[in-house]
Structure 1
Amino acid sequence: MKKFLTAAVLGFGMAGAAMAADPAVGTWQTQVDDGAYAHVKMAPCGGAVCGTIARTFNDSGEYKSPNIGKTLVIDMAPSGDGAYAGKVWRPSNGKIYIGKMNVSGNSLKLSGCVAGGLICSKQTWQRIQ
């Protein structure tokens, strides 16, 4: 029983370290969309990465958007080499897009489409933390 518990603890520790090393984990600044931008905190969620709106800004500075705390990046599963696939919610129109994400250093490229690929949007985010 002791061996099992030790193996389980080591396994969880290694899994946690692997997820902590995920290149998407951290805080990212979005591009301006409809006059506002956000800081999105990306963190592990199951075997994927999810992003929650942590802070919001407009021309006047930081403001308390009703979207703070909402999930913007949904279940982005890694597929290797900094590439991910999942979903993205766009607050300005309320639509959920089939999304792709690619992380390279301090740059994150996010794209998404609805209506079978007829309506698409993309942004490049910068790591701030």
Structure 2
Amino acid sequence: MMKTTPAAIVFGLCAFTTVNAADIDGQWARGDGNAKVRIAPCGSDICATNTWIKPGTPKEKAGDRLVMTINPDADGGYAGTAFDPQRNLTYKLTVTINGDKMTTKGCVVAGLLCKGVDWTRIN
């Protein structure tokens, strides 16, 4: 009979969750057509960097970055926080991915002010 150590259980759960989380890396277009981002690892976090902003879109520019400290959740998405250095704001963040569709939901002020944004993967 094989003994299972707590470390093996934790590693196994982490590996299982990671395998089931949808792939967030890649190029994404915002549903309103005003922005495109590249999501990729940056250090120990994940960054969403604006690669294109529709001319005339206020308060956004190419190169702006959102630094996400997120982990896979039980539903196959991601949850954690996101820091916006341009606005010096930290959001509670959830990300849901279904095929080539992604929805991000960010909340501030103890979760009282939330906004969801739809995205489509660019292949």
TM-score normalised per structure 2 = 0.65
Q: What number of residue pairs does the alignment pair up?
A: 104
1:57 to 54, 57, 66: 54
Match of 1:27 in 2: 27
Residues 89 and 56 of structure 1: is their aligned pair in 2 closer, same or farther, counting only changes over 3 Å? farther
5+ long unaligned stretches in structure 2: 1-17
**2:66, 2:121 → 1: CA distance?**
16
**2:84, 2:109 → 1: CA distance?**
14
Match of 2:12 in 1: none
1:114 to 108, 111, 123: 108
Match of 1:39 in 2: 36
5+ long unaligned stretches in structure 1: 1-17
Indicate the percent of aligned positions where both proteins have the same amino acid. 31
TM-score normalised per structure 1 = 0.62
CA RMSD, 1 decimal: 3.4
Structure 1 residue 44: deviation in Å? 1.8
**2:35, 2:81 → 1: CA distance?**
18
